[in-house]
Amino acid sequence: MIHIVRPALALLAALACFTGALRAEPEVQERWYTMFLAGEHAGWLHTVNTRTPDRVTNLSHFEMTMKRAGADLRVLIETEFVETAKGEPVSMRAVTDLGQSPATASYEFGPEGVRVTTRAGGDERVSEQPLPPGEWLTPAEVEEFLTARFRAGAAEAVVYSIDPSSGLKPLKITHRDIRRTQFEFEGKSVDAYSALVETDAAPGVTSETIYAADGEMLRSTTSMGGLNLVMVLSTREAATSATGMPEMMTSFSVHPDNPIADPRDVRVARYRISVPEGTLADIPSAGAQRATRIDERTCEVEVVSGRGSPDPSAADDPAFTAVSSMIRWDDPEIAKLVARVKGNTPLEIAESARELVYRHIKNKHMGVGFASASEVCRSRQGDCTEHGVLLAALLRGKGIPSRVVTGLIYVEEFGGDADIFGYHMWAQGLIDVDGVPQWIDFDGTLPRRMPFDATHIAIASASLADGELFTSLSSVTQFLGRAAIEVLSVEHSAAESSR
């Protein structure tokens, strides 16, 4: 059975910089926020700002529960940033629990670099990284800068900062259309500021945020196509009393204009993808897929099973061969799997790795959020994301550069719905074809002798380098509840075509 990736996790990239952006400055200040997802109380956010004479610490704890095709899923993200009273970074930490065990990344800032310690799947790694490039502000400096801009009557405020869950790359945060407003809170009307907030951690995602005059966040609404995520200032009791568990998967299924017969046997297909308003983000031409933009809202896509896309520059990019928290291909347990991969040519090796992943993951279910390759190797459970990440790790272990792809796949039935495109993840390996490195698609959720089919539509790819997880997922948000797919033509392996 094909396991569809949860698009809801892409929301978390947008939350990282928005929810605790502005606060007043007592010695210790706590804030609780109730989270509503798809209209249901599904989680909470707790922020703590602590000041001492020489330190400022910002702590954020986010927890959400949902259902995916009936399976319960809990998502937890905790971040901490410590800085001096003068705005010099001291340390930061991110704990992400999207699978069955948490992954932790800790950063200690020094004068010449950053000491990074990552822990995932029972494995700990320590490395030295360069200081973040360019000019950027710490969380406390961001608070002061934005508060000053608001009170000065600025219509826009742009700042670069770092969020622990996104690693060491400074993120651009833009507040635009800033205006004074009134907000009803606990039965009272208070002076407030409204702003549209965007970050390059989640391209195309906008959050409408309302702040009190002293900078306290009152409400944040993030729209992802047909899905709204709302954070509202609350009390601890109200915030943590969530009883709702929104069903995420069926809400984001895309029903094409016509059903596709024998989808796993489709070898060539053409689609027209569109959104009803706004701009459809660029759809990649990569692997088996070629995309042609028709207008700002429409793109046509041709997928040919087995076709690759030349990318000679990727052969020299260390991101596709590196060890990261998500892809520890040198993990001793993963190395045991790598040793079982057979084949004499890169294509044979990649196909052997794909079949091995399918067999190795015994418990195929939707109750895992996004586990690392090390965790999947040991737990032997998960959905399409776990298949894709483990396959990418095995390919790297065999010397084949790899990445994962987030997109859509056609299924005849899923979660009680029929004939739909659902969210999916698979892997691509960079393999020499006639002397030219090309990205080739491999789907670890497909059983032996069932090759990659042309009902896969790629939206984005990612190397899954440290700090890239949420950013890489954010591209799917453009399709949530919005995209329409027309099936222009399909051809099956026996050259039988329909439509």
DSSP per-residue string spanning 82-94: EEETTS-EEEEEE
Between the alpha carbon of residue 462 and those of residues 38, 319, 409, the distances in Å are 27, 9, 18
Tokens of 299: 């793109």
- Based on the domain organization, do 177 and 61 belong to the same domain? yes
**Look-up of token digits 């020094």:** 110
- How many angstroms separate the CA atoms of 414 and 410, rounded? 10
Give me the pLDDT at residue 247, please.
60
Beta-carbon contacts of residue 144 (< 8 Å; ≥ 6 apart): none
Q: Are the beta carbons of 164 and 81 closer than 8 angstroms?
A: yes
Q: In CATH, what number is assigned to the domain containing residue 429?
A: 3.10.620.30
- Based on the domain organization, do 155 and 197 belong to the same domain? yes
- How many angstroms separate the CA atoms of 109 and 83, rounded? 10
Q: Are the beta carbons of 219 and 230 closer than 8 angstroms?
A: yes
Beta-carbon contacts of residue 94 (< 8 Å; ≥ 6 apart): 77, 78, 79, 80, 104, 105, 164, 165
Point out which residues pair with 33 in neighbouring strands. Answer: 45, 233
**Going along 22-85, which residue ranges are E strands?**
28-37, 40-51, 55-68, 71-84
- How many angstroms separate the CA atoms of 190 and 162, rounded? 31
Beta-carbon contacts of residue 198 (< 8 Å; ≥ 6 apart): 173, 174, 176, 205, 206, 207
- How many angstroms separate the CA atoms of 293 and 348, rounded? 34
**Look-up of token digits 């490039």:** 133
Q: Tell me how many degrees the CA angle 43-91-195 measures, rounded to the nearest 5.
A: 50
- Based on the domain organization, do 268 and 214 belong to the same domain? no
Q: Are the beta carbons of 261 and 496 closer than 8 angstroms?
A: no
Determine, yes or no, domain membership for 195: yes
Tokens of 231: 């954070």
Q: Are the beta carbons of 283 and 273 closer than 8 angstroms?
A: yes
Q: Is 304 exposed, middle or buried (0-12, 13-18, 19+ CB in 10 A)?
A: middle
Last residue of a domain, one of 239, 263, 279: 239
- Based on the domain organization, do 312 and 289 belong to the same domain? yes
pTM exceeding the 0.85 threshold for the entire prediction:
no
- Based on the domain organization, do 192 and 313 belong to the same domain? no
Determine, yes or no, domain membership for 457: yes
Determine, yes or no, domain membership for 247: no
Tokens of 100: 């069955």
Q: What is the largest CA-CA distance in the chain?
A: 75
Q: DSSP state, 118?
A: E
- Based on the domain organization, do 161 and 299 belong to the same domain? no
Buried b (16+ CB within 10 A) or exposed e, 344-376: eebbebbbbbbbbbbebbeebbbbbbbbbbbbb
Q: How many structural domains is the chain composed of?
A: 2
Last residue of a domain, one of 174, 206, 239: 239
Which residue range is the domain that position 111 belongs to?
Answer: 7-239
- Based on the domain organization, do 265 and 175 belong to the same domain? no
User: Which pLDDT tens digits describe the chain residue by residue (499 residues)?
Assistant: 333 333 334 444 434 444 444 544 558 889 999 998 878 888 899 999 999 999 999 999 988 877 665 566 778 889 999 999 999 999 999 988 765 667 888 999 999 999 999 887 667 888 899 999 999 999 999 988 988 999 999 999 999 999 888 889 899 999 999 999 998 877 888 889 999 998 877 767 788 999 887 778 899 998 766 678 899 999 999 998 866 666 665 556 789 999 999 999 999 999 999 988 878 888 999 999 999 999 999 999 999 999 999 999 999 999 999 988 888 898 899 999 999 999 999 999 999 999 999 999 987 766 566 778 988 898 888 888 899 999 999 999 999 999 999 999 999 887 677 899 988 999 999 999 999 999 999 999 998 888 899 999 999 899 988 766 666 566 676 676 678 999 999 999 875 444 4
Point out which residues pair with 429 in neighbouring strands. Answer: 402, 440
Determine, yes or no, domain membership for 444: yes
- Based on the domain organization, do 177 and 307 belong to the same domain? no
Q: Are the beta carbons of 337 and 351 closer than 8 angstroms?
A: no
- Based on the domain organization, do 119 and 188 belong to the same domain? yes
Determine, yes or no, domain membership for 488: yes
Determine, yes or no, domain membership for 1: no
**Going along 153-216, which residue ranges are E strands?**
156-161, 171-185, 188-199, 206-212
Q: Within its chain, how far is the Cα of 182 from the centroid?
A: 34
- Based on the domain organization, do 286 and 221 belong to the same domain? no
Residue 147 neighbours by CB distance under 10 Å = 21
Backbone angles phi, psi at 343, to 5 degrees: 120, 150
- Based on the domain organization, do 188 and 297 belong to the same domain? no
- Based on the domain organization, do 218 and 299 belong to the same domain? no
Determine, yes or no, domain membership for 245: no
Determine, yes or no, domain membership for 2: no
- How many angstroms separate the CA atoms of 200 and 305, rounded? 33
Give me the pLDDT at residue 3, please.
35
